[in-house]
Each structure stands twice: as structure tokens, then as C-alpha cells.
Amino acid sequence: MKAFLAVLLAVLLIFPCLALAQEEVSVGDLDLSDVEEVAMETPLVSNPLPIDFTGGSVPLESGYLDEYTYKDPTISVQIAYKDVRTEYDPAYTASVPKYHEKKQIGVFVVDIRIGDASQLRTISNKSFSKNSAGNVLTIAGRVNPVVATNGDFATRRQEGLIIRQGTTYKNSLRGVLDVLAIDEDGDFHMFSKPKKGEVPEVIDGKKVLNAFYFGPILVDNGELPEKFNFFRFLEEDKYYCRVAICHIGPLHYKMILTTMQETASTTGLPLKVFAQICRDEGAQYAYNLDGGNSASLIFRGQLVNSSNDKKPREVPDIIYFASAWDGEAAE
């Protein structure tokens, strides 16, 4: 009798465990989209790259999970195209000019997470010391980017601030345009129309590695500015092609772009709406870069945001995010 009771007790204890195990591995109960999202948020390995103009590690072919997604142990990139009319506040497109009413209005949103701040990098066509522009795909092809966009056309102005990969090439600010400074931890710092000497080379004990001179500031500390410091080429209310780089959180960024050129079927966005979209996408800081025909999103060596066969404008520099994976984790 005791033996029978022992067997019965064992069965009663084991059976619920078996049932629980079956429930946990039941594929029908899993939301696979959630599994994919969690996979993209796996903590990334910190493998610092040198602070110079060498490129990143060659992206792994196995890292391309689909046409618009890349992930390796040091970086994850996801690209999504969003229709502004249906995926954001309807008020943003409530008063579209008649000329644009039938056009597609959308943005490419690139979500980027890196393991080390050194993976956010810049490179020029030839030099940041002189004005030299080149094909954006050719420039990107030299440095193995996972994803890249055009920069701030930094060398075309006599005034301004150019700091790239820790080296200062120009510092002649005159209080004209906004400045974005990115420190060695990858944190963003915004400066509204600073004059010479008002953008320090070290901020909160951290060296500024890259600084851009274009703007305006779109989002600062999670808030839209009361007024945009734009210059005449931006034309705040015009539906222009635009580019923004956004800081979401520690080592988490987004690049947001419209299509590269305006066509009969596509168009860009007014500056205020573009800023609102950056804020809606979670930007704590967002900065406007050179747009128009410069607006370029490069992934797998191709222009993702090109709506026709027109070549992009030649640019002097790009901003890119690189892989740092060499097969071994840094100790």
C-alpha cells in the first residue's frame, strides 16, 4: 500500500510539470513578432573602434536578417517606411497644399543600437580641411557602413564648426546656425546659434568627437523648440526632402529621412511636422542635416530612399554606423 501511494504521489507531482512544459513550448501560443523584437534588443557587445578615419568591420552576410534588418553582436539596424497620413497624428497632414494632395508623404525610420559609441562615425570625401564633394555611395563604400546618411555639407561655408573623429578642422562660429556636438559616450548636446568659444571641446568631462553645423535643432531634451533657427534654404513651411539624426537613449539612435527627391508621386515635409515626427519616434534630441537632393539613406551599398534613377547630389561627408564585430568580445 505504501508503495502504491508513493507511485501515486510521484505521478501527481510530475504530471503538472509535464503539462507546464508542454504549455511553455507550444508554438501556437507564441507571438513571433515579440520574439523578434526581443532578439533585436539583446545587449550588444562593446568592442571599441579606433577614433580615426578607418572604417568599421565588414558587416556579416549572415547579419542581414531580411531586406531592411541587420544584426550582429555589436550593432542592430531596422529600417521601416511609414506613411505619415496613417501612422502619425492626422493633424500633421490636415492642410496639405493642393499641389501635394495626391502625393505619397512618408518617412524612412532607421532604428540603430550600438555596443560602443565609437561605432557612430564620420568620413569625408577627401578632407575636412577643404571643400571636396563626391558620390555618397563611393564615400560610404570605403568604410564598410552598416547604415549611413549624408552629413552637414560642412566644408561649403567659411564660418562654422567642424569636429570630426576627435579633430577640430574649423572653429569660426558667428551665432548663425545651431550646432550638434556628440561626445565620446555618444551623447548629444545641442547649442542654439552659438558664437566662437561657446561650444567646449570637453562637455561634462567627455571629449567632443563630432560636431555638426547645419540644423536647426528639431528636438531638445524631448521638447520642440519654440522657434526654429533656420536659414533661407530650409524654408520652414515648404514640403522639402529632409534628414534628421536622433538620440533616443544611451547608444540608441534613429535616422529619419523623407524620399531623396521630390517627384510627381512623392514629396517631403514642412520642418515643424518633421520635428514632430522625430519627437513622436522617441527622440530626446534631434538635429536637422542637409536635405534636398543630398538626403541619402544607404544600406547594403544602395540608396534605400531613392524614388527614381536620379543620382544624388555630391556631398563632402557622411555619418555612418559601423559594425565592430571581429569574432571576439572585448575583455
Q: pTM (2 decimals)?
A: 0.85
pLDDT of res. 115: 98
pLDDT for 60-111, tens place per residue?
999 999 999 999 999 999 999 999 999 999 999 988 888 888 888 999 999 9
Banded pLDDT at 127 (limits 50, 70, 90): confident
Residue 204 pLDDT > 80, yes or no?
Answer: yes
Residue 39 pLDDT > 80, yes or no?
Answer: no
- Residue spans of the domains in the chain: they are 2-30, 38-159+214-322
Residue 258 pLDDT > 80, yes or no?
Answer: yes
More confident residue, 237 or 167: 167
pLDDT for 310-323, tens place per residue?
677 799 999 999 99
Residue 15 pLDDT > 90, yes or no?
Answer: no
pLDDT of res. 38: 37
Do the beta carbons of residue 82 and residue 109 sit within 8 Å? yes
Banded pLDDT at 307 (limits 50, 70, 90): low
